[in-house]
């Protein structure tokens, strides 16, 4: 993987691309995969507020669309002030990540302490809750 500091720099840079005219709250996310690839996302808002998509989900969905093995290694989130990922994004992360995956909630000034996904979402709803199991596709 790229070093944590380059992941941070990438998240900081993509944050500047956020389209957030309604909230003014810009978010950048950098997702590192085990195979070394990095996917970036920023939040994209909409006049119909519910159509907004968060930075984290944009990064994860870009990784899905790129194909290949999807084994997340770490996520860096940059906001100002520091913030935790929202519940919907945590749910998306729970679909693809191990509970131990580190999530760094950073500000443009620095990286800060890493948490784990399980600290943020301890008991996610997942495929084990479904009678009909999802098919593993990759
Ligand atoms: N936002 C994210 O991009 N990620 C989160 O985890 C929380 C919220 C965005 C959505 C919206 O554009 C703005 O931050 C304010 O909610």
Q: Can you tell me the mean pLDDT for 14-26? A: 98
State whether the beta carbon of 25 lies less than 6 angstroms from ligand 1.
yes
Ligand 1 centre distance from Cα of residue 81 (Å): 12
Catalytic residue, candidates 34, 56, 95, 100: 56
Ligand 1 centre distance from Cα of residue 43 (Å): 6
Residue 1 has pLDDT above 60, yes or no: no
State whether the beta carbon of 60 lies less than 6 angstroms from ligand 1.
no
Q: Can you tell me the mean pLDDT for 87-96? A: 98
Residue 25 has pLDDT above 90, yes or no: yes
Q: Can you tell me the mean pLDDT for 65-86? A: 97
Burial (Cβ within 10 Å: 0-12, 13-18, ≥19) of residue 4: middle
Please tell me the pTM assigned to this model. 0.94
Q: pLDDT at position 113, please?
A: 83
In 3D space, the residue among 68, 72, 78 whose CA is nearest the CA of residue 106 turns out to be 78
Average per-residue pLDDT for the chain: 95
Ligand 1 atom 10: the closest Cα is on which residue? 54
Q: Which residues of 59-96 are buried (b: 16+ CB within 10 A; e: fewer)?
A: bbeebeeeeeebebbbbbbbbeeeeebeeebbebbbeb
Beta bridge partners of 29: 41, 77
Residue 131 has pLDDT above 80, yes or no: no
Q: pLDDT at position 2, please?
A: 58
- Catalytic residue at 56? yes
């Amino acid at each position: 993987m790229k070093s944590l500091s380059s992941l941070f720099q990438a998240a900081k840079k993509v944050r500047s691309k956020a389209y957030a005219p309604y909230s003014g709250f810009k978010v950048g996310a950098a997702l590192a995969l085990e195979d070394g690839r990095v996917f970036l996302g920023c939040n994209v808002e909409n006049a119909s507020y519910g159509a907004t998509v968060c930075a984290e989900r944009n990064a994860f969905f870009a990784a899905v669309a790129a194909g290949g093995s999807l084994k997340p290694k770490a996520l860096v989130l940059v906001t100002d002030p520091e913030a935790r990922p929202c519940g919907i994004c945590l749910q998306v992360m729970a679909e693809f990540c191990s509970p131990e995956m580190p999530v760094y909630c950073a500000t443009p000034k620095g990286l800060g302490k890493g948490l784990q996904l399980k600290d943020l979402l301890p008991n996610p709803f997942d495929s084990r809750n479904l009678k009909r199991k999802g098919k593993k596709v990759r």
